[in-house]
């Protein structure tokens, strides 16, 4: 049996994609809409407070295209805290308007393929920051799930550890060329969701996503051994932006 590689694991992640139910929203009175927004703003303030306290992190994005309208991105130390995040929103009046479009559950991880030196997050501030990340202050986000292929000769999990490490080093070389433009958070979802990893990219322009992902397609780790799910792209918003989005 091929040797599994241990991971360093951090915060739990919920990519909560929402779609505005305009039929419900426009049927409400002005007072009902105002009350709903006030309750949502209070909840948003709680999420922002968690972010400031560094006991989690939060970011919101307006999604481009038909797949969703909003992405509410949450990082928390425990699964129970993410459950609370979801149901607190669903129980507010805005839960009737911001309908679930999709979601993705995962846990921030770093592979030990390339680990060197002190790999203990408790004593390594760099690793701790990677495993308990603040949502980057970038204007654009791109999220997609992916899995490693398990088909015939192209079975990632039947490769020996040395081969996988070599392929991942090559893969990482491409990513490092974009380190000044694109921030990447990898989260593992084996046993948690329908794919094996979630990839979240942050940049100031969506063009950087296009160039990075295209270049990586030619790398053997992606070209031969990776399958990709749907891509979601959006721009960062604050609560005032959401109010303007919902204006009728």
* pLDDT of res. 84: 97
Cα distance between residue 245 and residue 248, in whole Å = 9
Q: Who contacts 155 (Cβ-Cβ below 8 Å, separation ≥6)?
A: 149
Q: pLDDT 10s per residue in the chain (248 long)?
A: 677 888 899 999 999 999 999 999 999 999 999 999 999 999 999 999 999 999 999 999 999 999 999 999 999 999 999 999 999 999 999 999 999 999 999 999 998 765 555 577 778 888 899 999 999 999 999 999 999 999 998 999 999 988 998 999 888 888 889 999 999 999 999 999 999 999 999 999 999 999 999 999 999 999 999 999 999 999 999 999 999 999 99
Cα distance between residue 15 and residue 101, in whole Å = 11
167 neighbors 225 (Cβ within 8 angstroms): yes
For residue 54, what are its two tokens? 């560094």
Q: Which of 144, 178, 225, 232 is catalytic?
A: 144
* pLDDT of res. 126: 86
Q: Who contacts 46 (Cβ-Cβ below 8 Å, separation ≥6)?
A: none
142 neighbors 205 (Cβ within 8 angstroms): no
- CA-derived radius of gyration, the chain: 19
* Domain boundary assignment for the chain: 7-245
Can 144 be counted among the known catalytic residues? yes
* pLDDT of res. 115: 53
Cα distance between residue 248 and residue 242, in whole Å = 12
Residue in 13, 3, 6, 4 with CA at minimum distance from that of residue 186: 13
Please tell me whether residue 213 adopts helix, strand or coil conformation. Answer: helix
Q: 111: exposed, middle or buried (C-beta count within 10 Å: 0-12, 13-18, 19+)?
A: middle
- Residue keyed to tokens 């994609």: 17
246 neighbors 37 (Cβ within 8 angstroms): yes
**Cβ of 195: how many Cβ atoms within 10 Å?**
20
CATH for the stretch 7-245: 3.30.70.1030
């Amino acid at each position: 049996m091929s040797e599994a590689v241990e991971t360093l694991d951090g915060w739990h992640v919920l990519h909560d994609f929402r779609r505005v139910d305009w039929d419900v929203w426009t049927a409400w009175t002005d007072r009902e809409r105002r009350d709903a927004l006030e309750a949502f703003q209070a909840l948003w303030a709680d999420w922002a407070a968690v972010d400031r306290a560094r006991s989690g992190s939060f970011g919101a994005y307006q999604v481009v295209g038909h797949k969703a309208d909003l992405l509410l991105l949450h990082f928390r130390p425990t699964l129970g805290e993410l459950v609370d995040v979801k149901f607190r929103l669903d129980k507010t009046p805005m839960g009737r308007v911001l309908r679930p479009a999709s979601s993705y559950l995962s846990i921030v991880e770093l592979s030990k393929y390339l680990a060197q030196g002190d790999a203990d997050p408790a004593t390594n501030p760099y690793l701790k920051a990677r495993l308990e990340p603040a949502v980057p202050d970038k204007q654009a986000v791109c999220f997609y799930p992916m899995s490693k292929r398990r088909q015939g000769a192209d079975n990632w999990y039947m490769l020996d550890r040395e081969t996988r490490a070599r392929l991942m080093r090559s893969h990482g070389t491409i990513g490092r060329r974009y380190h000044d433009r694109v921030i990447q958070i990898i989260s593992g979802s084996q046993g948690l969701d329908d794919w094996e990893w979630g990839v979240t990219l942050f940049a100031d322009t969506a063009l950087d996503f296009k160039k990075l992902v295209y270049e990586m397609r030619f790398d053997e780790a992606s070209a031969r051994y990776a399958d990709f799910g749907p891509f979601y792209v959006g721009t960062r918003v604050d609560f005032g932006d959401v109010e303007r989005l919902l204006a009728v």
